[in-house]
Amino acid sequence: MGKIKVLDDLTIQKIAAGEVIERPSSVVKELIENALDANSTNITIETREGGKKYIRITDDGDGIYENDLINAFKPHSTSKLAKIDDLYNINSFGFRGEALASISSVAKVEVLTKTEKNVSGIQAFVEESKIIKQLPVGCPKGTTMIVRDLFYNLPVRRKFLKSNTVEGNYITDIVYKLALGNCGVSFKYIKDNQVVLNTSKNNNLRDNIYILLGKEFIDGLMEIQFENEDFKIYGYISNNQFYRGNRSHQYLYVNNRYVKNVGLTNIIETKYKSLIPINRFPIFVLFVYIDPSLIDVNIHPTKEEVKFVNEEEFNTKLEYIIDKTLKDNLAVPKATFTKEPIEKKDDSIPLLYEEKFYSDDYKLNINKNEDNTQILESMPIYEKDFNTYKIKHEEVIKRKEDINRIDGNRIDGEDDLKNILKRLKYIGIIFSTYIIAEDTLSNRVFIIDQHAAHERILYEKYKKEYEMEKVIIQPLLTPEIVELTDSEITMVLENIELLKNLGFVVEEFGNNSIIIRGVPVLFGEPQLKSLFLEIIDNISSIHNKNYEYRTDKIMKIACSNAIKGGDKIFSMEIQSLFEQLSQVENPYTCPHGRPTIIEILKEDVEKEFKRII
């Protein structure tokens, strides 16, 4: 008996549905795109329980005629294609005729629809891609699609869906992208009975960016325009001072369809190299309008990928316009001051904090030197973002044995780096960041990265406070308000206790923002907005990790953002740095694995000067 069998139609449909309907957000995407194709100007999206139980898409578009409704849920039924050549001239979002058939094969669907010419509308109930009940109903022009119990007949598939919150975030992401890309359409999104967004069909792109992404995006974006006989490029790209920690705010639309194109993304990101810190990504909202015959959108089941026929020409023009816009708008970062300068006797000595900002464990120790100048023994808080200096290292070697050597002879085994740090003699500072110190006992010179060293010190203090449940919180005199997207706010609220345990007091502040009321006192007053945005950008990528991993990740982010680099520090502070570094568990690297200290042997110097051969 043969082994190969032809599958029945229902099984075939469910397999095909799996290619198009991956999760609730796939349903939302397909139905919104159908509404856009139906010339809708107002679209309302409503979901419950992450779309697993209930999705409702209502539009004021053309509606569906009764004789068309019979075929609408059949596989490969479409009004957008008539012949094979039409595949190479696609002007609509949907065209394969698989959306409604796929949805109705894995969910219970109810449709209410009315055309402008018909007096009454139609209500129909569909299961397994077949209309099981149909009757006339009073309803306005347009179509409402209600999808219930997604994957009710595929329990294994349903089991692999994420939590309601995660699935809801996927839907939010889809709605934001479609709303951003269709300025002439009003979008209203209701999630679990709460309005998440509400845009106007009268908005232009700039208005939509402001409403959906926030004022900070508008302030940090530059407009670009280019047009020739084959295509038009229009939109906004970020300036050299505005970037994020991931690619979640990179939006590319081709003929108003949100798409992904790795090649184009790489071209744009390459133009930002050396202009923004490493491991940071530019932001863009770009629209490409092109003859449909010059692109192929039929290369992926979800139609998110696109291929250009004249790719080389297009890439060249895109490179030109991005490069020119950036070069014409480069700007020096502006310093902002929120306080009056604190008076000090010697302007070269940075007074870091007032004593009232510190707990008993972290008060400033102020001593008098011979001429009664106040000397601060505490460490300064550095200024530049750590990631400006981040260097990838595959491994860091702790040279404990080598460091206990004098001209090839081993010294006391207890004389490791921690002991050497305690006796280092400060020589000077180069490039406002690297401390030069000498250990005459071992005939070595050490170069200490003051930024990396202090970051290690703060990280271990922070971690110890957290583990002992003694993180001291500094209430902010002026709380910081940060605008976020709906999914970002959800991410914050899901991790509110974690953030609180780490010393960040955060509350929801309206529909599209949060307010920061307190920060760990250990960091003084960091650049709160940029710090918190980086935490949000990274917490989304570590969301599925365990609690300890997320905690450690946030600690590292907080430390690297709270510390300042390039500050002038005096000898007492430097000696305090040596002492504190000698007391940490790992003085060799910063929390990110970058070295805190390197050494130069006397014999190596003498070899360079040809004193020894």
The pLDDT tens digits of the residues spanning 458-474 come to: 888 888 888 888 888 88
User: CATH: 1.10.645.10, 3.40.50.2020, 3.30.565.10, 3.40.50.10160. Which one for 9-202?
Assistant: 3.30.565.10
What integer pLDDT is reported at residue 526 of this predicted model?
A: 67
Task: Give the Cα separation of 151 and 105 in Å (integer).
Answer: 9
Per-residue pLDDT, 387: 35
Please tell me the least confidently modeled range out of 63-67, 237-241, 400-404, 606-610.
Answer: 400-404
Which comes out higher in pLDDT, residue 464 or 563? 464
- Any idea which of 15-29, 456-470, 539-553 has the lowest mean pLDDT? 539-553
Give the pLDDT of residue 139. Answer: 93
Helix ranges, 272-382 (H): 311-328
Residue 548 has pLDDT above 90, yes or no: no
Structure tokens at 330: 């480069």
CB contact burial 280-311 (16+ within 10 A = b; e otherwise): bbbbbbbbbebeeebbebeeebebeebebeee
Side chain identity at residue 419, one-letter code = N
Residue 585 has pLDDT above 90, yes or no: no
Residues forming CATH 3.30.230.10 domain(s) in the chain = 214-328
pLDDT at 240: 81
- Overall pTM surpassing 0.75 (yes/no): no
Q: Residue 543 has which token pair?
A: 């969301």
Confidence (pLDDT) at 171 = 96
- Give the pLDDT of residue 207: 92
Query: What pLDDT does residue 602 have?
Result: 87
pLDDT of residue 13: 55
pLDDT above 80: residue 58? yes
Q: Which residues of 355-392 are buried (b: 16+ CB within 10 A; e: fewer)?
A: eeebeeebeeeeeeeeeeeebbebbbbbebbbbebbee
Task: For CATH 3.30.565.10, list the domain ranges present in the chain.
Answer: 9-202
Which residue is listed with tokens 């699935």? 167
Of 150-164, 374-388, 390-404, highest mean pLDDT: 150-164
Residue 595 has what pLDDT?
82
Question: What would the mean pLDDT of 422-434 be, rounded to a whole number?
Answer: 89
CATH class entry, domain 214-328: alpha beta
Given a cut of 50, is residue 575 above it in pLDDT? yes
Band the pLDDT of 489: cuts 50, 70, 90: confident
Q: How confident is the model at residue 493 (pLDDT cuts 50, 70, 90)?
A: confident
Q: What is residue 470's predicted lDDT score, i.e. its pLDDT?
A: 85
Cβ neighbours, 10 Å, residue 323: 13
Instruction: Reply yes or no on whether the pLDDT at 406 is more than 70.
Output: no
| Element of type H or E holding 234 | strand 231-238
Query: For residue 255, what is the DSSP state?
Result: T
Three-point CA angle 470, 471, 474, nearest 5°: 130
Mean pLDDT value of segment 518-539:
78
Using DSSP bridges, classify how beta strands 250-254 and 284-290 pair: parallel, antiparallel or unpaired. Answer: parallel
Most confident of 67-76, 111-120, 262-271, 404-413: 111-120
The pLDDT assigned to 343 comes to 45
Which residues is 248 bridged to in the sheet? none
Average pLDDT over the chain, rounded to an integer = 77
Q: Largest Cα–Cα distance in the chain?
A: 103
Of 47, 29, 26, residue with least CA distance to 93? 29
Q: How confident is the model at residue 503 (pLDDT cuts 50, 70, 90)?
A: confident
CB of 522 closer than 8 Å to CB of 360: no
Predicted confidence at residue 565, as pLDDT, reads 59
Asked if 381 contacts 564 with a C-beta cutoff of 8 angstroms, the reply is yes
- Find out whether 454 and 524 touch, Cβ atoms under 8 Å: no
Cα 313–chain centre separation: 31
Q: Tell me: pLDDT of 63 over 90.
A: yes
Average pLDDT (547-562) is 71
Q: How far apart are CA 576 and CA 588, in angstroms?
A: 17
Q: Which range has the worst mean pLDDT, 68-72, 144-148, 244-248?
A: 68-72
For position 519, what pLDDT does the model report?
A: 86
pLDDT computed for residue 561 by the predictor? 60
